[in-house]
Structure 1
């Protein structure tokens, strides 16, 4: 049996209590994920949330009429209060908010700047990184690292495609290389952070792009939700079990 391990965004900013967007429970998920690497695995895929400081989901992008940025966790689902700090970005920003309302994805949430390119918070959590290096040395295979989120004009919760793909930017379009690799698996173990957002939307996109839900095993003791968004994780798990995905863990 070809078993693949798909680890979503196991980065310091999410998994370290001092991280910029710490997900409580992630610090306990990491040792359990690291232990999975002792199992026979045909491939290991690790996604990396990857952002610039100036990003449509970070406070610097937006201003109110008094020139103040939104606080982290502000939801921007209409533009009566908020406008792009750079007037050159206003039309595209307004179109993006409208596109999110139409496509049924999550509304725009303003996050603390996190997983910034070149920062310590972008790195894989140290305990897991050591286990990944050991897996590479032991098996002679390379971990498949997949970056997502570098386009500042769209969110990229899913490792498969951006929330609003940009036809001019291939990095926002469906990741055919990752999809093709996962199609070869008999079972895909899914874990990482956060269960309410990046895990949920990656898995939804896997199924939408032809990966049979029956191949997916969701390791619920190896992912946690962003506080305040627990219902999103619960909804995701209900959706996926209804179409045949398996759940293991606590």
Structure 2
């Protein structure tokens, strides 16, 4: 008898705040349907998954990519979707609300640009929770498999952005949780296939996959499958999402859907 392939399912940030449903802080068009399709896959083919990893974007209200962290020249909070550069800070157009962070902010912006988002995925809030239909499917998988979904929190350090599930955009030396940790990806690295879904394609999915390829080797893409009907780009960032898909396929990665994955 042939040994069943060891498939690991990696679900990136399947949270309420990213779904196009009432009350969401940062809705991604199509995400609600993405999560419903993914839930059907988990419920119908859960026995095919050796393990499931779910990442959770997890922020405080006071966060470098939220308005509360910043003030404009008049002392007001900037609006979401504002871009802030090192030149803006140098000119006084924007400054950190806590003046003690001025030097750290200057260093950060010297390494990475910054884009302010609406407050989202605040720890303990409804928006931080997993989409309810998918959450029910994951709970059912745990009960049927007598195993636990591996939940990974990312983004808790307010002084750095954390698009990738596995490392911050600018790691903080004093905070190991912002740095790549091989132990966190051991089950993924050992899998025959890693099936990737979640939100948003253009940002956290892309950054997470790129982290895996950077640390596990570009050839790891050949063991990865993107579930194209279970992820969508942030509106306005469709080109970035497509550029990532082209890059992934160019590295040997595969694209499938929840419908044809096990057909």
Q: Give the counterpart of 1:91 among 103, 110, 114.
A: 103
TM-score normalised by structure 2 residue count: 0.90
- Matched residues in 2 for 1:16 and 1:23: separation? 6
Q: Give the counterpart of 1:169 among 156, 175, 179.
A: 175
Give the SS at the match of 1:53: coil
Residue 63 of structure 1: aligned partner: 71
Q: Give the counterpart of 1:24 among 14, 26, 29.
A: 29
What are the superposed Cα offsets for residues 205-246 of structure 1, whole Å, 9 maximum, x if unpaired? 010011511011011110011111111111111111111010
Residue 122 of structure 2: aligned partner: 116
Equivalenced residues, count? 244
What are the superposed Cα offsets for residues 31-60 of structure 1, whole Å, 9 maximum, x if unpaired? 111122132100000000000000000001
Structure 1 residue ranges, 4+ long, deviating more than 4 angstroms after superposition:
none
Residue 261 of structure 2: aligned partner: none
**More helix per residue: 1 or 2?**
2
For the pair 1:225 / 2:229, whether they are aligned, the reply is no
Q: Give the counterpart of 1:151 among 132, 157, 162.
A: 157
- Matched residues in 1 for 2:225 and 2:171: separation? 27
- Matched residues in 1 for 2:158 and 2:246: separation? 31
Give the SS at the match of 1:44: strand
For the pair 1:2 / 2:6, whether they are aligned, the reply is yes
Task: Give the alignment's Cα RMSD to 1 decimal.
Answer: 1.2
- Matched residues in 1 for 2:97 and 2:59: separation? 18
Give the SS at the match of 1:47: strand
Q: Give the counterpart of 1:181 among 181, 187, 211.
A: 187
- Matched residues in 2 for 1:175 and 1:236: separation? 23
Residue 249 of structure 2: aligned partner: 241
TM-score normalised by structure 1 residue count: 0.95
- Matched residues in 1 for 2:226 and 2:69: separation? 34
Structure 2 stretches of 5 or more lacking a match? 259-263
Would you say the 8 A contact 1:16–1:125 is kept in 2? no
